[in-house]
Structure 1
């Protein structure tokens, strides 16, 4: 028994048996029919017998699935910043979080095709309660973030996860992906939760916070979708918060969000890899003594990187102009793009409800608003 057994992904020697355990699941059939629509079931069932590592599974199946998602539900994926990374170095990628499955899947496709170290990726255990999803996640190098624990167990779980992430980076030479916050950003305001950084710091041992964070080689990642395929699905929670009501998830809500994110139209997608945090950590160490204030400053550095490198698609400018009833950014989009967005707005929410309309538009406009704030205050 390893202390990581409750959260870890599968070892390579476990892969074949675990894959065979879900090979005939109806959801696997649906997954494979989507990925290889012209291939007979017996062909891939036979191929599964030769899968003996996570790398095999990712190269021969998962990468094809992600490319199919891009082909069928987007107008392509572009990237920037990755050329500054070393191909043999493991990094801790901390990214904004918009889509449950795609954020990390798309990043890993970029890493795979570029010859970089692929990631072990954090995923909430609430999202993989179904056996098929749990096994599939661990076959794709996902490790579990345990949700809904009592406070004492939560602290123990955070300590274990912190040590696991450290082990992946320092001993396994494995990059790690983690979202900057628990749960997806619903309102377009990408901000790093200090709790995430506190968890990462729990394995620092005798090292100072900033020295330890330098060893993690933190790379902020900005993921930008032209259209969010789950935009309307995020509205009920936003409206409940507006009414100061408790929001209770529907029974299959997470699964619906996963499928909608995969199959829904995204148009263009861009991923930017920021620069490794190093100089900024030295400056924080030199100017701030208090650990909590250091965590706050590190969160701000990550936020500034993610927001300033976030690709602003025409939809962000259109939403801003519609929200404020202006033509300030009319040069950033065409009339056709504006009409398409307005039609989407009408189809996905009740446009006669001013609160719904405001929240929907703000969801798209806030990345622009936040970038403007950074440009107005470049020193932070």
Structure 2
């Protein structure tokens, strides 16, 4: 027994048996029919018998699933910044969080195709409650973030996760992906939660916070979808917050959101890998003594990188102009792109409700608004 057993993904020697246990699950059949639409079921069932590692499963099956998702529901994935990373170095990727499954899946495809180390990725255990999803997640090198714990258990769980991430990076030489916050940014405002950084620092031991974060080799990742396939699904929670009401998730809401994120139209997608946060940590160590303020400063550096390197698609400029009833960014989009976006808005929310309209447009416009703010602060 290992202290990591409750959260870890499968060891390679467990993969074949685990895959066999779900190979005839109807959800696996649906997944494989989507991935290999012209392939007989018996062919992939036979191929499963030869899968003896997570790497095998990811390369031969999951990577193809993600490529198929891109073909069916997007106009393609572009990347930048990955050529600046060393192919043999494990990194801690901290990214903005838009989609439950795709954020990390697209990163891993980009890493695989550019010859980099793929990640162990954090996923909330609330998202993989079904047996099939739990096994599929662990076959895809996901480790579990335990949700809904008491305060005491939460502290213990955070300590274990912090040590697990450190072990992955420095003993397993495995890159790690974690979102900058718990849950997706539903309003388009990408901000790193200090609690995520506090959790990471729990395994620092005798090292100073800044030395330990240098040791982790943090790389901020900016992910940008032209269309958010779950935009309308995020609206009830945003409107409940506006009305100061408690929002209670529906029974299958997470699963519905996962499917919508995977199958819904995204148009163009861009992933940018920022540079390793290093010298900035020396500056923080030299100028800030208080640990909480150091954490704030690190969060700000991650946020600045994510927002500045966020690809602004025409939808962001259109939403800004519609929100502010202006033509400020009219040169950034065509009239056809604008009409398509307006049609989408009218199909996905009640356009006669000014609050819904404002929240929907803000969701798309906020990355642009935040980028303007950061650029203004840097030019002062």
Q: TM tier, shorter chain?
A: over 0.9
* Equivalent position of 2:334 in the other structure: 334
Distance (Å, rounded) in 1 between the aligned partners of 2:170 and 2:40: 42
For residues 307-338 of structure 1, what are the alpha-carbon distances to aligned partners after superposition, in whole Å with 9 as ceiling and x for unaligned? 00000000000000000000000000000000
TM-score normalised over the length of structure 2 = 1.00
* Equivalent position of 1:243 in the other structure: 243
Name the SS of the counterpart of 2:378 in structure 1.
coil
* Equivalent position of 1:74 in the other structure: 74
TM-score normalised over the length of structure 1 = 1.00
Distance (Å, rounded) in 2 between the aligned partners of 1:378 and 1:195: 26
Q: Which runs of 4+ in 1 moved over 2 A?
A: none
Distance (Å, rounded) in 2 between the aligned partners of 1:372 and 1:315: 16
* Equivalent position of 1:138 in the other structure: 138
Distance (Å, rounded) in 1 between the aligned partners of 2:263 and 2:302: 30
Distance (Å, rounded) in 2 between the aligned partners of 1:270 and 1:282: 30
Q: How does 1:161-240 map to 2 (within 5 A)?
A: 161-240=161-240
Name the SS of the counterpart of 1:371 in structure 2.
helix
For residues 8-48 of structure 1, what are the alpha-carbon distances to aligned partners after superposition, in whole Å with 9 as ceiling and x for unaligned? 00000000000000000000000000000000111100000
Deviation at 1:379, TM superposition (A): 6.8
Deviation at 1:361, TM superposition (A): 0.1
Name the SS of the counterpart of 1:123 in structure 2.
strand
* Equivalent position of 1:90 in the other structure: 90
Q: How does 1:302-313 map to 2 (within 5 A)?
A: 302-313=302-313
* Equivalent position of 1:265 in the other structure: 265
For residues 64-84 of structure 1, what are the alpha-carbon distances to aligned partners after superposition, in whole Å with 9 as ceiling and x for unaligned? 000000000000000000010
* Equivalent position of 2:23 in the other structure: 23
Distance (Å, rounded) in 1 between the aligned partners of 2:343 and 2:110: 32
Deviation at 1:5, TM superposition (A): 0.0
Q: What stretches of structure 2 of length at least 5 have no aligned partner? A: none
Distance (Å, rounded) in 1 between the aligned partners of 2:361 and 2:185: 14
Q: Aligned residue pairs: how many?
A: 380
Q: What stretches of structure 1 of length at least 5 have no aligned partner? A: none
Deviation at 1:145, TM superposition (A): 0.0
Distance (Å, rounded) in 2 between the aligned partners of 1:330 and 1:5: 54
Deviation at 1:158, TM superposition (A): 0.1
Name the SS of the counterpart of 1:270 in structure 2.
strand
